Structure 1
Amino acid sequence: MKKLIISTLCFLAAIQFSFAQSNIEQLLSKLEEEYRQNPAAAFKKYADDNFLFINAEGGSWDKNRTIKSVSSAKLEDVSFTEKTFKTFGNITIVNGINKSRWNFGKVTINYKDAFTYIYQINGNDVKWLSSQHSLVTPKDRNKAIYRELNNLSRERKIDYTKFYAETHEIKGIGKGPKAVEAYNNAFIKAFPDLQITVVELIAEGDLVFARCEATGTQKGELNGIKPTEKTAKVAHWTVNRFNAEGKITESWNLNDTFSMMQQLGINK
């Protein structure tokens, strides 16, 4: 009975946390949309009186100077990607990549920065405490490129020459962008609804490690295995090496083939 009570309390706590996190993300999405429409108005509404903005060049602005700065230009485009949320009590820290295009009249400037935004959230009241931008490191860039590649793969819109160097080698498979294309197409032909979801990305040096989950229904032949019409969900790991231009030069792929064969009914 005691274990049941504890389990129930843990379950309720998990639901409460999930709801709170969802509410926070909704509030911040609303703030982002207002920022897109009118940056100065968003800062006036949400920025704390002690708000501090540190730009990628190391400059430090208070609330009034930030509002004055964004009022002097037109925000033509902005996106916030690679976002992660960490909540500590009523404080939420958001990290990610900011891409924006600002028109200053005679000149248009494109920015791409890593950002850290700190908010204080009480109920539906949001206070923007601080904003810090920093130059995107090669590791940040490589992770963003891999996510873009994965998203385009899910939509079947990859230009392989854009992402893979001519000297690229997919270990154990072949060389060049066309080798990767053929490798991917073989799986897509066998699993037309194949979707690969990134679970975790880790970057170190010029390498990006992706832990993924691949899901698909086998409707075509794969390596001599006839269509089974069964769905499999398996772990997929890939390591990619990037060059200075942001193109992939080497790839290592590993799939949980044994689990896939079990789910397809090939191995009992």
Structure 2
Amino acid sequence: MSAVEAAARNKNNYLEAKSAFNRRDLDACMAYYSADHQMRSREVGPGREHIRAFLASMHATWSNLEIVAEHVVAEGEWVMGRCTSSAIHSTSVMGVAPTNRRIETTFWDLHRFNHDGLIVETWNIVDGLAIMQQLKAGRVD
């Protein structure tokens, strides 16, 4: 497989993983991660159970969480996405009681894929300030 073909396959797998996440089908989502997947944005050991726990916690914390991949760039074994996410603030987050308001933010994620098209490494950057500003806007002090 050429680098161009691998990049196209990896981009498609990235988008399919996001689609499975949005359907709340973590088993289908995990099928795109290697067994020895490594989250690089957190201090955890290798193993796809860490990314599964992280993604499950996102659904548990944020009701109606949906991710939209706005821009996705793929080159060889690398895929980077700029995504928007929206959810309902229905549980306590950052010490703020639920407001049942819609919260929106942007995040960027970078993934390295192996020769089989599975994600082996992940880095994430979230616009936490946007989340905090929206949570504070919903507070009643």
TM over 0.5: yes
Paired residues of 2:11 and 2:79 also in contact (CA < 8 A)? yes
Secondary structure in 1 aligned to 2:10? helix
Aligned mates of 1:265, 1:230 — CA distance in 2:
11
Pick from 17, 33, 38 the counterpart of residue 164 of structure 1. Answer: 33
Paired residues of 2:112 and 2:122 also in contact (CA < 8 A)? yes
Unaligned runs of 5+ in 1: 1-135
Partner of 1:247: 118
Partner of 1:99: none
Secondary structure in 2 aligned to 1:188? helix
Which piece of structure 1 moves more, 139-148 or 179-188?
179-188
Paired residues of 2:30 and 2:52 also in contact (CA < 8 A)? no
Partner of 1:189: 60
Whether 1:234 aligns to 2:105 is yes
Pick from 11, 15, 19 the counterpart of residue 147 of structure 1. Answer: 15
Structure 1 or 2, whichever has the larger Rg, is 1
Pick from 70, 73, 90 the counterpart of residue 219 of structure 1. Answer: 90
**TM-score of the pair, normalised by structure 1:** 0.46
Which piece of structure 1 moves more, 175-184 or 242-251?
175-184
Unaligned runs of 5+ in 2: none
CA-to-partner distance for each residue in 1:157-181, whole Å, 9 max, x for gaps?
Answer: 1325411112111111533211111
Secondary structure in 1 aligned to 2:18? helix
Shift of 1:152: 0.9
Paired residues of 1:231 and 1:264 also in contact (CA < 8 A)? no
Paired residues of 2:89 and 2:98 also in contact (CA < 8 A)? yes
Aligned mates of 2:98, 2:138 — CA distance in 1:
15
Partner of 1:124: none
Work out the number of aligned pairs and report it.
133
Secondary structure in 2 aligned to 1:219? coil
**TM-score of the pair, normalised by structure 2:** 0.85
Q: Which has the higher strand share?
A: 1
The RMSD of aligned alpha carbons is 2.0
Shift of 1:225: 4.2
Shift of 1:187: 1.6
Aligned mates of 1:239, 1:267 — CA distance in 2:
31
Aligned mates of 1:143, 1:235 — CA distance in 2:
19
Whether 1:264 aligns to 2:132 is no
